[in-house]
Amino acid sequence: MAERLIVVGGDAAGMAAASQARRRRDRDDLSIVAFERGHFTSYSACGIPYWISGLVPERDQLIARDPATFREQFDIHVRLRHEVTGIDLERREVVARDLDGGGEVREGFDTLVYAAGAVPVKPAWARTGTQGVFGMQTLDDGAALRDWLESEPRPRRAVVIGGGYIGVEMAESLIQRGLTVDLVEQADQPMSTVDGDMAELVADAMKGIGIQIRTGLAVTGLEERDGRVAAVVTAEGPMPADVVVLGLGVRPNTALAEAAGLPLGPTGGVRTDRRMRVPGVPGVWAAGDCVETLHRVSGMPVHVPLGTHANKQGRVAGINIGGGYATFPGVIGTAVTKVCDLEVGRTGLRERDAVAAGFEFVSVVAESTNRAGYYPGARTMTVKLIAERPSGRLLGAQIVGWSEAAKRIDTLAVALWNGMTVDDMTALDLGYAPPYAPVWDPVLIAARKAVDALAGPGR
């Protein structure tokens, strides 16, 4: 009889694992069943804000592969709308509830991939069932929000709570749909994914398109009328709202894992080894937004829920389950986003992370342009580098710019990944032509500035 692989969670990580395992082992050797509580498999959660705004017109454009494709091309059986309710490691079986049919399914496994994803952080006041309040984690969440935005009475005033990536992207999407948008952030600035000096550039751009930013303010409750949200309650009084989007971050979805006895790490995510095995639990693997991983710069465990890591981790698990060898060596915190045409990229540690990790460092900010200054369309690009003192090793980098800026962070990410010093970086052979860079690339200009900062004022 074929070995039985069960995948808990049918999104990026789970389906990447299933596909890679199948690529190496045929159906006679390995049967694969995936349980997914939602309506969709393998979709781009990161694309949801663009579907909400209308920039991406059709929901199905966000779906990479549907269950029929998995069945026909990969012989992988996906059970949609089946929520796994228990994992029994002794009996080697999972129990799942059919959310539509209402029945219960039991399925045995030899090998299990736990890829249950993440769940949005919801304060108690957001869990009261008031209509018009949305987390934004799954395509089902996006579909519910879209329906709400198109319902009557038509929502006009949105409050977005939380100024991280999702909050900022959703605020822009809702502005583009014609709503008024207040963004409420507990800290003194939104976009704290970059340092304050860089975040300020982003906040200015947000205000520029009409997003009202309220900082240093916590939401403590909701007001409702006829079961529909009417306002969010803050220390400064109520803010009227016909729709509320939560952008308070997500946490690993580990309830099942915990109940089954899988080990969790200090970040709350499932622990894995480099091959994505759950340590001490033979035959069980985990991948995606539910796991914690190593930050290669700080050396500490982190929880970084991002589709690109989920895909890579799932691929690694699947290759190993398939009998190959692959490892996931951790992350360095690279992220890019677009806010009102402003491009933002970051990698490695922010200043506060570097302090927390115990590093001494210098940080420099260099302003330059994306193209040769004389070339039409040249726009400002601001590059920040954080380098260990005295070694000069790059610890982190951030870029904010108006055009062709965000993906330049990859150059810095690869330098960081390889442990380069800013001094080494000044010699890097980067592409130069007037349409793409000044003769001193913005990255090189910043590296030179960091070298000077390390040498001190006497230089």
Amino acid, single-letter form, for residue 388: E
83 has which bridge partners?
Answer: 97
Task: Respond yes or no on whether the N-terminal peptide bond of residue 390 is cis (omega within 30° of 0).
Answer: yes
Q: Which of 96, 415, 445, 454 binds a second copy (CB under 8 A)?
A: 415
Cβ distance to a second copy smaller for residue 217 or 413: 413
User: Binding mask 51-90 vs a second copy (x if CB under 8 A, - otherwise)?
Assistant: ----xx----xx-x--------------------------
Compute the least distance from the CB of residue 172 to a second copy, in Å: 11
Is 105 a binder of a second copy (CB under 8 A)?
no
Compute the least distance from the CB of residue 61 to a second copy, in Å: 4
Is 338 a binder of a second copy (CB under 8 A)?
yes
Q: Is 39 helix (H, G, I), strand (E, B) or coil?
A: coil
CA 193 to chain centre: 11
Compute the least distance from the CB of residue 445 to a second copy, in Å: 11
Amino acid, single-letter form, for residue 311: N
- Here the tokens at position 5 are 């692989």
- Residue 455: its H or E element: helix 442-455
Query: For residue 305, what are the contacts with CB-CB under 8 A and spacing of at least 6?
Result: 117, 118, 250, 252, 288, 289
CA 72 to chain centre: 30
Q: Which of 46, 63, 143, 230 is catalytic?
A: 46
Find the part of the chain contacting a second copy (CB under 8 A) among 138-146, 223-231, 261-269, 335-343: 335-343
Find the part of the chain contacting a second copy (CB under 8 A) among 216-224, 230-238, 247-255, 330-338: 330-338
Is 329 a binder of a second copy (CB under 8 A)?
yes
346 has which bridge partners?
Answer: 335, 398
Compute the least distance from the CB of residue 287 to a second copy, in Å: 13
Is 46 a binder of a second copy (CB under 8 A)?
yes
Compute the least distance from the CB of residue 266 to a second copy, in Å: 21
CA 216 to chain centre: 24
Find the part of the chain contacting a second copy (CB under 8 A) among 115-123, 139-147, 227-235, 407-415: 407-415
Q: DSSP characters for 135-170?
A: --SSHHHHHHHHHHHTSSSPP-EEEEE--SHHHHHH
Cβ distance to a second copy smaller for residue 79 or 309: 309
- In contact, 366 and 383? CB cutoff 8 Å: yes
Question: Can you tell me the distance from the alpha carbon of 64 to that of 43, in angstroms, rounded to the nearest whole number?
Answer: 5
Q: How far apart, in Å, do the first and last CA atoms of the chain sit?
A: 73
Is 404 a binder of a second copy (CB under 8 A)?
yes
CB atoms near residue 106 (< 10 Å)? 11
Query: For residue 95, what are the contacts with CB-CB under 8 A and spacing of at least 6?
Result: 84, 85, 86, 88, 104, 105, 106
Is 318 a binder of a second copy (CB under 8 A)?
no
Find the part of the chain contacting a second copy (CB under 8 A) among 68-76, 101-109, 251-259, 420-428: 420-428
Is 436 a binder of a second copy (CB under 8 A)?
yes
Cβ distance to a second copy smaller for residue 217 or 443: 443
Is 290 annotated in the active site? no
Q: Which of 337, 363, 382, 421 binds a second copy (CB under 8 A)?
A: 337
Is 418 a binder of a second copy (CB under 8 A)?
yes
Q: Is 30 helix (H, G, I), strand (E, B) or coil?
A: strand
* Residues belonging to the active site: 46
Q: Which residues of this protein are in contact with a second copy, per CB under 8 A?
A: 12, 44, 46-47, 50, 55-56, 61-62, 64, 306-309, 311-312, 327-329, 331-338, 343, 345, 347, 372-376, 404, 406-411, 413-415, 417-418, 420, 426-437, 439-441, 443
